[in-house]
Structure 1
């Protein structure tokens, strides 16, 4: 669900303090987009929203969520926005976020 090697690599690259800021920003931005999807995103905006979410997710190691966003983005781009399983995508984000937050506690220095 989470690529912990990517998470560790990012934290090591930017430092623990900056990493905490990135995580906060990521969660705020992604949750804003998720809220828009829940509210009923217009079909012509779906591809762009899923593209943004995919890229954000990859940067922070949310691999399963990113994969679902990619599948949805591809479907929307080919005119099949109705085939995108937004409920599954949102549920994956929520599960990934929970796993991520639990895992961050384990990564924190003593």
Structure 2
């Protein structure tokens, strides 16, 4: 679900102190988009929201979530927004965030 190798590489690239800031910014921005999806998203905005979430998720190693966002983005781009499994995508974010937050402490010890 989480690409821990990617996360460790990112932390090493930007440094441990700045990594915390990146995580905070990521969660703030992504949770804002997630909240908009939970409230209901117009079909014409769905593709761009999922595109943003996919890119953000890839940057911070949320592999399973990014795959669902990619699938949804592709469906929305093809005019098949009704095929987007938004409940599964949102649940994947919740699960990924839980795993990510729990794993950060292990990452700090490595």
Q: Which TM class, normalised by the smaller chain length?
A: over 0.9
Residues 4-38 of structure 1 show CA distances to partners (whole Å, capped at 9, x for unaligned) of 00000000000011000000000010000000001
Answer yes or no: is 1:100 the counterpart of 2:104: no
**Alignment pair present for 1:22 and 2:5:** no
Can you give the 5+ residue segments of structure 2 that lack an aligned partner in the other structure? none
State how far apart, in whole Å, the 1-side matches of 2:88 and 2:109 are: 34
Q: How many residues align?
A: 110
Following the alignment from structure 1 to structure 2, what is the Cα–Cα distance between the partners of residues 40 and 69?
Answer: 16
- The CA deviation string for residues 26-83 of structure 1, in whole angstroms up to 9 with x for no partner, is 0010000000001111000000000000000000000000000000000000000011
Moved over 4 A (4+): none
Question: Following TM superposition, by how much is the alpha carbon of 1:108 offset from its aligned partner in structure 2, in angstroms?
Answer: 1.1
1:109 to partner: Cα distance = 3.4
Question: Unaligned 5+ residue runs, structure 1?
Answer: none
Indicate the RMSD between aligned Cα atoms, in angstroms. Answer: 0.9
